[in-house]
Amino acid sequence: MVNSLRRLYRSGRWIEWFIRILLALGSFAVFYPFLWLIFSSFKTGADIVRIPVTLLPEKWTLSAYRMVMDPNRANLPRAYWNSTLVTVGTVITILFTSSLGGFVFARLQFPGRNLLFYLILSTTMVPFLTLLIPLYIVMKQLHLLNTLWGLWVPSIFSSFGIFLCRQFIYGIPAELYDAAKIDGSGDFGIFRNIILPLTRPVLSALAIFTFLGTFNAYLWPLVVLNDENKLTLPLIISRMANRFGGTDYQAVMAGSVLVSIPPLVVFLIFQRNFVRGIALTGLKG
Amino acid sequence: MQAKPTVRLALAPSRQQQGFLRRLRRASPLGLLFATAVTIFYTVVFIIPFGTAIWLSFQNWDFLTKPRFVGLRNFAHALSDAYFWQALKTTILFSVVEISLGVALALLLALMLSQVRGVTQNVFLSLYYLPVITPTVVTVYLWSWLYRPTGGAFNTFLSAIGLPPQPFLASPSQALWCITAMVIWANVGGASVILLAGMNDVPESLYEAARLDGAGFWQMFFRITLPMIRPVLVYQVVVSVIGTVQMFDPFFLMPGPGFSTRTLALYTYQLGFQALNLGYGAAVSLIIFVLLLFATVFQLQRWQVRWEH
């Protein structure tokens, strides 16, 4: 034992192990709150307010989960459906408009192209807060308040997405476009058959960020939606916190666990693309 | 007479001779279609709302009666409004502390992560990234549970190591820092992944050359890593300023007592949707816009970073 430690010290690799231990301690600190979330959701109402508190439940129970899945008490299944609809719809729309927009602004010729592109880019300078009140008024005029369409419409196009795809498509040799053009392909055909498959890496990164952004969105859905059966998951959680927060906090925890699962699953599936995506999107911005 | 210019155009199309109409005729139909759609979209969700915000900031309107023109009174009111100054102070305090602590922690974390490789790095990266993908509502309700003055996890921990319990969110002087700590916890993984990606871009040959010259670890960090990732670092700070100033969810969902954690973002929301003082709300939101614009331009000038497209 002492000998092997000495060998470790002499080889200089102890720094590596020291860093590993630090990282492990840090990740435990980061993960620790989640333990409370998970274990508390399996407690009973009496157990969760017991003093002194314990991390683990006294008696494991699914009653909190039953409570939040009960349509008469918290419309969680309905909110799941609403969130899925909005998130999937928004992600597909943004992937399509961004890749097409990137292609249009990178390769096609039409008057005012660059002016329009820089106008689109400049919209990102205005914070969403400034647009919040007037955008609400616009949605009211369009009769989109209290509908899921009201969440979808403002994100049909994404300035960030168009910018990202344009940068990426610039990197694809222009000869590819010219050759297909000479062969008699139409612009949309070139986009669908040549450009779109090549844009896959940047689109998967964009898909992840759009998914997380839409699924976790709070402020805009809060302003637009009102009816209990139209709410998205983050909104239903805060309704639940108001309803159960006083006496049945374990229900809030159970709801929170259920709401965290979809982003977690998406993250685990695309985990490998995350870092590459960030390298692709975050830095070159 | 008619045919001649056409022939010349076909041989050598010079830009001056291509009038707008001619270029329009030669333009790609798909391009024009997309341009039309995108123009309509940004007119509806950006130009009209932005124009409305500017127009509203000169009006007095409560959503019900007719809007009344009041000139610059909304902006003048902000200058003498103690609530506005308090919100501005809270916003700046939160933003400065969150960014300096958050970026320092993220830098440290990225540095440590860059020293381990392969699967180990991936596993740690995923663990540190979990709070980033967790919905903010979940984070907020989880942390308010941990912050509870009696029976909360943090106070249980404090009493276990012999320290007096703290009121946390129930105290006007602690609430803002409780929220800041939570936001740092939620964001640090994201920032460190970006910084790590920047560190991975630094050519290995620089380190090899430095090692041959006998440079130590910290020397390499300060002389090579830090200068090389400077653009990434600046980008991270600029984006964090914009993000923290606009942050809404935590302040709305776990407010401290009174106005102790009311930021400009929350104030705008309350003016618009609760006090129904739309004109003043629009004015405050435009002030946020101008402040952010100045802050961004100032930072980019100061740190001399050029964005290349």
Q: What is the pLDDT of residue B262?
A: 96
Q: Does the pLDDT of residue B17 top 60, yes or no?
A: no
A119-148: per-residue pLDDT in tens?
Answer: 999 998 899 999 999 999 999 999 999 999
Q: Do A130 and B143 touch (CB under 8 A)?
A: no
pLDDT band at A11 (very low <50, low <70, confident <90, very high): low
Size of interface A-B (CB pairs under 8 A): 258
Give contacts of B45 with chain A, Cβ < 8 Å. Answer: 131, 135, 138, 153-154
Which of A86, A85, A226, A82 is CA-nearest to residue A152? A86
B172-204: per-residue pLDDT in tens?
Answer: 999 999 999 999 999 999 999 889 988 988 898
Closest approach of B3 to chain A, Cα-based (Å): 24
Place of tokens 């915000």: B53
- Select the residue of B38, B48, B135 nearest A157 (Cβ to Cβ): B38
- Select the residue of A15, A110, A120 nearest B28 (Cβ to Cβ): A110
Q: Do B116 and A37 touch (CB under 8 A)?
A: no
Q: What is the pLDDT of residue A279?
A: 64
Q: Are A154 and A220 in contact (CB under 8 A)?
A: yes
List, as ranges, residues 123-182 from B with C-beta within 8 Å of A.
Answer: 124-131, 133-138, 141-143, 145-146, 150-153, 156
Report chain A's mean pLDDT, rounded to a whole number.
Answer: 88
Distances (CA, A) of B169 to B174, B256, B300: 6, 5, 36
Say whether the ipTM exceeds 0.85: yes
Q: Do A40 and B145 touch (CB under 8 A)?
A: yes
Give the DSSP H/E element, type plus range, for residue A35. Answer: helix A14-40
pLDDT band at A17 (very low <50, low <70, confident <90, very high): confident
Spell out the domains of chain A, with CATH numbers in brackets.
2-64 (no CATH), 69-281 (1.10.3720.10)
Q: What is the pLDDT of residue A97?
A: 97
pLDDT band at B15 (very low <50, low <70, confident <90, very high): low
Q: Which residue has the higher pLDDT, A21 or A272?
A: A21
- B248 inside 8 A of chain A by CB: yes
Angle, helix A14-40 to helix A249-269, in steps of 10 degrees: 130
Q: Do B35 and A113 touch (CB under 8 A)?
A: yes
Q: Do B296 and A263 touch (CB under 8 A)?
A: no
Q: Does the pLDDT of residue B6 top 80, yes or no?
A: no
Q: Do B50 and A134 touch (CB under 8 A)?
A: yes
Spell out the domains of chain B, with CATH numbers in brackets.
3-56 (no CATH), 77-302 (1.10.3720.10)
pTM of the complete model: 0.89
- Select the residue of A23, A157, A215 nearest B112 (Cβ to Cβ): A23
CA atoms within 13 A on the CB side of A43: 24
Average pLDDT over residues B85-93: 97
Task: Read off the DSSP letter of residue A24.
Answer: H
Q: What is the pLDDT of residue A67?
A: 87
Closest approach of B8 to chain A, Cα-based (Å): 21
Long-range pairs, B153-162, Cβ under 8 A, ≥24: B153/A33, B153/A36, B153/A53, B153/A55, B156/A52, B156/A53
Q: Are A174 and A107 in contact (CB under 8 A)?
A: yes
Q: Does the pLDDT of residue B46 top 50, yes or no?
A: yes
Give contacts of B245 with chain A, Cβ < 8 Å. Answer: 127
Q: What is the pLDDT of residue A273?
A: 67
How would you class A214 by CB atoms within 10 Å of its CB: exposed for 0-12, middle for 13-18, buried for 19 or more? buried
A227-284: per-residue pLDDT in tens?
Answer: 988 999 999 999 888 888 777 888 999 999 999 999 999 888 877 766 666 666 654 4
Q: Do B138 and A259 touch (CB under 8 A)?
A: yes
Rounded distance, CA B134 to CA B129, Å? 9
Q: Do A263 and B39 touch (CB under 8 A)?
A: no
Give contacts of A266 with chain B, Cβ < 8 Å. Answer: 133
pLDDT band at B269 (very low <50, low <70, confident <90, very high): very high
B209-243: per-residue pLDDT in tens?
Answer: 998 998 888 888 899 999 999 988 998 999 999 99
- B15 inside 8 A of chain A by CB: no
Q: Do A23 and B46 touch (CB under 8 A)?
A: no
Per DSSP, the three-state class of A31 is helix
DSSP labels for A119-141? Answer: HHHHGGGS-HHHHHHHHHHHHHH
Q: What is the pLDDT of residue B9?
A: 42
List, as ranges, residues 230-249 from A with C-beta within 8 Å of B.
Answer: 233-234, 237-238, 241, 245, 249
A197-242: per-residue pLDDT in tens?
Answer: 999 888 988 898 899 999 999 999 999 999 988 999 999 999 888 8
For chain A, what percent of residues have pLDDT higher than 90?
55
Give contacts of A271 with chain B, Cβ < 8 Å. Answer: 122, 126
